[in-house]
Structure formats: structure tokens, C-alpha cells
């Protein structure tokens, strides 16, 4: 493979990060399959649980499967990073706070999380990592989660984790991502984005997920077929970004033969460019984005994707533009962007705030000082046009 030697130069941190994100994706898939199975199986004896799940489908505050995946990924990633690099060297910024899980009423949830984590860690050797010598106890899982207590900032090194980005996508069997980045002195130095339901080839996005699920129940998909997700990753300053298939056993693959370089799209004409927009309306202003798209001359149907998968779409060349303008009072968090930004940049794209300035990851858990919104583009021609259009239309809108 071309670039094999360059690929061998990836740092040990990036190598471990890619493997642990692969593991985390398999944990999420297991939990998500269980959830979809439950939703499709109304005659199960567990009616209460089913009803409960339906009620809680949009929230993350109880025993819902997305909560199990969230905690499970956080514990797994924390445990593996600590094992590989030593607890004194590992500092992690992440969303989930261990207090909730330590409460008496969360005993059932904790048990589900511990089971998911142990099931996942038992498979570590398949990903070239070491398993614990014996299954972790509840306190060890809580300890791993509680290590994720860094507040980030301008100095030192810390990992930034978003265990399940795109709660609704996860619950609906649609797009979601597992994102892990390493920040050093306020700069993102590497990023990994696991996209379990984002197929390796763009054409397959058009098949609706549920149709695929129905078909795969009838006939198991052929190896290497389109049900595979992907993992994207990049190291700052390398000028390269990579993608590999989601695998369930690294040992069956030659370490580098299945990593392929990805590049942003070369389209710079707005009329044929595709832009990604959020599916969720909660934190972003759809109407402003739509008006902006029109003024820039974007004609194509937008690609509506949940979560940080939008960054993956740009890095891979499936779309050219992603913009997000936060509603008043909403603050962007570093874990929703760090991994995606470095991957898009190394793949050849441009990411700034709406004033054209780089995003500042050095100010704690929020992207403080963000000018209006975030604009990611495959190239500077489109990027300039959008920045200019934002300035022209901002004053007339009343966000």
C-alpha cells in the first residue's frame, strides 16, 4: 500500500486510540442491537421495560440503552488508556459524571454498565490490547469513570472523549459517533472518530438503515459488505487522514493493509456542493442555515446526518460544507468538535468559526470566544464564500 511507511509513523497514542475506539464501537453496536431487538419484539415478557424505554427514548437520565453505552464507553476508554500509559499520565475530559451512577437507585444501571464493560474488555486481545486479568468489579468501573475529571485548559495533555455523540441517532439505529482526541497545550494533536453506522462507501448511505436491518435479518451480509461502519483518524501536522473499516478482530487483518487515506472533495462550485445539516433542531438555527445556503447558491439536497458524522462526511469527500450556528445561550463543547476538526484539517479541509478564526480548544470544556458558529468546508474557495455570506446576512437575521 502507498504510504505504508508513513502510516507506520503514527504515534503510539494514536495507535492505541484507534484500537480503543474500535472496541468502543463494538460495545455500542452490541447495546444498540439489543435496543433495536427490544423495540421490534413487542411480545417480549418485559413489557414494563419496553414501555419504560419508549418513554425515555430522548433522555439520557436513566437506564436507557444509550446511557449504558455512554457510561460503558467512558469506562472502557478510561481503563484502556490508563493501562497503556499509566494513570499519572492520563487525564480525560468527558461528559458523564460518576455521581449519578454511584447512587443507590442506579444499582441496576451500574450492573448493566459493568456487564457491558467486562464483555467489551474481554475482547481487548482481538484489538491488540490487553484484557484485565479478571473481570472488573463495580468499584473499578466507577473508578475508571471518575478518572475522567479533567477540565481541559491551555496547559498540558489531556484526552477528550464523547462516548456516544448523537443520542437520537443511536436510539433510532441511525448515525452516531464515538469521538476521542488528544489535546496538548490547547492544540488538538490527534483525533479518532468511530462511525458504526456510516458505511465505507457513500452510495450505501442512500439505503435506509432500517431496510438494511430487515434484509440483514433475512440473509447475513457478505463479508466486507456495506453494513460495516468506519473509523477515521488523523495526527496533527501529518497532512494525512485515514479511514479503516470497523472490525471485530484486528488479528485477522494485516495492521496497515486496511487503512486507506481519505481526502476532502475538490468541488468548489456551490451549485453542485452538498452541505450537511443537523437533524436535531435543538441547538442550532435551521432557518438561518437554510437562508445562508440559498444566498451562497447551494442547490443540492442537504445531507442530514446526526452527530459528528458530519465531520466524517466532509473529511471523506461525501459532502463539502457543514455549518452550525448555535442558538442563543447554547455553548459548544470541545468534545463535540475536537476529533472531527483535526481529521477534516488533515484531510485538506478548513474549519473555523464564522469570523474565520480557528476554534480555540484551550479554554476549558467549552469553545469560548466562538464567533457565531462553526463552518467546516472541503476547501478555502467555498469557505470564503460562506464566511462572506454570513457577514452579509447576519445583521438582517435576528438569531
Q: Answer whether 389's CB lies under 8 Å from 296's CB.
A: yes
What pLDDT, on a 0 to 100 scale, did the predictor assign at position 333? Answer: 94
CATH assignment of the domain containing 361: 3.40.190.80
Q: Are residues 134 and 154 in the same domain?
A: yes
Does 165 belong to an annotated binding site?
yes
pLDDT in tens, 127-151: 999 999 999 999 999 999 999 999 9
Task: Give tens-digit pLDDT for 247-301.
Answer: 877 766 555 447 899 999 999 999 999 988 777 666 566 677 778 888 888 887 7
Rounded CA-CA distance 215/211 in Å is: 6
CATH of the domain at 199: 3.30.540.10
User: In this predicted model, what pLDDT tens digit does every residue of 2-57 receive, in sequence order?
Assistant: 444 455 567 999 999 999 999 999 999 999 887 666 655 544 444 344 434 333 33
Tell me the residue range of the domain where 55 lies.
4-262
Residue 245 CA to residue 232 CA, distance in Å, equals 9
Number of structural domains the chain divides into: 2
Residue 227 bears catalytic tag: no
Confidence of residue 398 (pLDDT cuts 50, 70, 90): low
Q: Residues 250, 332: one domain?
A: no
Residue 211 pLDDT: 53
The DSSP-derived string for 321-341 is EEEEEBPTT---BGGGTHHHH
Q: Tell me if residue 135 falls in helix, strand or coil.
A: coil
Please check if 97 is assigned to a binding site: no
Q: 186 with 255, same domain?
A: yes
Considering the candidates 33, 100, 151, 167, report the single residue annotated as catalytic.
167
Nearest by Cα to 343 from 373, 378, 291: 378
Radius of gyration of the chain, Cα coordinates, nearest whole angstrom: 20
Per-residue confidence at 381, pLDDT binned at 50, 70, 90?
Answer: very high
Q: Which residue has the higher pLDDT, 399 or 69?
A: 69
- Which one from 67, 70, 227, 289 is the annotated catalytic residue? 70
- Whether 19 is in a domain gets the answer yes
Model's pTM, two decimal places? 0.87
Q: Are 183 and 361 in contact (CB under 8 A)?
A: yes
Residue 281 CB-density burial (10 A; 0-12 exposed, 13-18 middle, 19+ buried): exposed
Catalytic, 167? Answer yes
Q: How far apart are CA 399 and CA 396, in angstroms?
A: 9
Same-domain pairing of 32 and 106: yes
144 lies in some domain: yes
User: Would you state the pLDDT for residue 69?
Assistant: 94
User: Which of 210, 234, 262 is the last residue before a domain boundary?
Assistant: 262
Percent of all residues in the chain with a pLDDT value above 90, rounded to a whole number:
55
Domain finish residue from 212, 239, 262: 262
Residues ≥6 apart with Cβ < 8 Å to 36: 173, 213
Examine the fold and report which residue of 262, 293, 324 is the final residue of a domain before the chain moves on: 262
Amino acid at each position: 500500500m502507498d504510504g505504508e511507511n508513513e502510516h507506520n509513523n503514527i504515534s503510539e497514542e494514536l495507535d492505541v486510540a484507534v484500537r480503543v475506539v474500535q472496541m468502543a464501537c463494538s460495545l455500542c453496536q452490541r447495546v444498540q442491537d439489543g435496543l433495536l431487538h427490544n423495540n421490534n419484539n413487542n411480545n417480549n415478557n418485559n413489557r414494563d421495560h419496553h414501555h419504560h424505554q419508549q418513554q425515555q427514548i430522548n433522555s439520557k437520565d436513566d437506564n436507557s440503552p444509550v446511557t449504558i453505552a455512554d457510561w460503558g464507553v467512558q469506562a472502557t476508554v478510561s481503563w484502556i488508556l490508563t493501562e497503556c500509559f499509566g494513570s499519572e499520565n492520563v487525564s480525560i475530559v468527558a461528559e458523564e459524571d460518576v455521581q449519578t451512577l454511584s447512587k443507590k437507585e442506579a444499582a441496576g444501571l451500574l450492573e448493566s454498565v459493568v456487564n457491558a464493560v467486562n464483555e467489551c474488555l474481554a475482547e481487548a486481545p482481538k484489538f491488540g490490547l490487553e484484557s484485565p486479568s479478571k473481570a472488573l468489579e463495580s468499584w473499578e468501573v466507577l473508578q475508571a469513570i471518575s478518572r475522567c475529571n479533567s477540565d481541559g485548559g491551555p496547559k498540558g495533555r489531556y484526552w477528550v472523549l464523547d462516548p456516544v455523540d448523537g443520542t437520537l441517532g443511536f436510539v433510532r439505529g441511525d448515525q452516531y459517533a464515538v469521538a476521542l482526541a488528544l489535546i496538548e497545550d490547547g492544540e488538538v494533536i490527534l483525533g479518532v472518530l468511530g462511525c458504526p453506522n456510516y458505511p465505507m462507501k457513500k452510495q450505501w448511505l442512500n439505503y435506509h438503515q432500517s431496510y438494511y436491518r430487515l434484509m440483514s435479518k433475512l440473509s447475513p451480509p457478505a463479508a466486507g459488505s456495506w453494513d460495516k461502519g468506519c473509523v477515521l483518524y488523523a495526527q496533527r501536522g501529518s497532512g494525512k487522514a485515514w479511514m479503516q473499516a470497523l472490525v471485530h478482530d484486528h488479528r485477522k487483518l494485516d495492521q496497515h493493509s486496511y487503512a486507506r487515506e481519505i481526502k476532502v472533495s475538490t468541488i468548489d462550485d456551490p451549485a453542485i456542493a452538498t452541505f450537511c445539516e443537523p437533524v436535531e433542531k435543538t441547538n442550532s438555527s435551521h432557518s438561518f442555515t437554510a437562508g445562508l445556503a440559498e444566498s451562497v447558491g447551494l442547490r443540492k439536497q442537504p445531507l442530514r446526518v446526526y452527530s459528528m458524522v458530519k465531520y466524517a462526511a466532509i473529511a471523506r469527500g461525501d459532502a463539502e460544507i457543514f455549518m452550525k450556528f448555535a442558538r442563543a445561550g447554547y455553548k459548544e463543547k470541545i468534545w463535540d468538535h475536537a476529533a472531527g476538526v483535526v481529521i477534516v484539517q488533515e484531510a485538506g479541509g478548513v474549519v473555523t468559526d464564522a469570523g474565520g478564526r480557528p476554534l480555540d480548544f484551550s479554554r476549558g470544556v467549552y469553545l469560548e470566544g466562538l464567533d457565531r458558529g462553526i463552518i467546516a468546508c472541503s476547501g478555502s474557495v467555498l469557505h470564503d464564500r460562506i464566511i462572506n455570506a454570513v457577514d452579509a446576512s447576519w445583521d438582517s437575521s435576528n438569531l
